[in-house]
Amino acid sequence: MKPFISLKPLTCCNSLCIYGDITSITDEFDIIILTNSKVISIDETSIYINMTGSYGRSKSGRRAILTTTTYPFKKFNLLCAITSKGIVGIELYEHVKGGINVSIFNQFVDKYIDKKYKGYLILLDNAPFHRSKILVNNILKTKNKILNCVPYNPKTNPIDTASLMPILKQSF
């Protein structure tokens, strides 16, 4: 009998559950963002070069394993700030161990937001360092306000939606 081959994930990730209805909260965020052009959304992400796909085929009951020769993977960190009018600032960091931290984020704020933007609402996700006193004080000293998005809901942050892609394509 021929073994059954199936498509399975190569890696496993935890799924997060959101309890309750958050529609009213996301609607409130949409109103703030759509009616107020003075919103700056800032986020960071990691980009891996030489990474492979996350799905593979294997015999039923067996793990999908892929052996590569392109290790180590090249990791970059991207920090980006946008408004409804376009990109405020974008930085690509090559040698950042452990990802973006408070120090790098503060340098980014000083370079792209301080003295250029005042009276804006700075929209951040819920990364732990976004709530640090040093970062909060640095943003507040730029005469801007801070708003943290709803946890585990990228819909409340414009930089996490597909609308970022056309803006990025225009800038490069």
63 domain residue, yes or no: no
Specify if 146 maps to a domain: yes
Q: Does 91 reside within a domain?
A: yes
Residue 47 covered by a domain: yes
> 114: domain range?
20-52+75-171
What domain count does the chain have?
A: 1
Kindly report, residue by residue over 97-127, the tens digit of the pLDDT: 888 999 999 999 999 999 999 999 898 888 8
Q: Are strands 121-124 and 145-148 parallel, antiparallel or unpaired?
A: parallel
Model confidence over 131-168: pLDDT tens digits? 899 999 999 999 999 988 877 776 777 776 655 545 55
Q: Measured between alpha carbons, how far is residue 162 from residues 11, 75, 159, 165 in Å?
A: 24, 22, 8, 6
What is the per-residue pLDDT across 23-80, written as a single tens digit (0 to 9) for each?
Answer: 444 555 555 555 567 889 898 887 777 666 677 778 888 888 777 666 666 778 889 9
CATH classification of the domain holding 110: 3.30.420.10
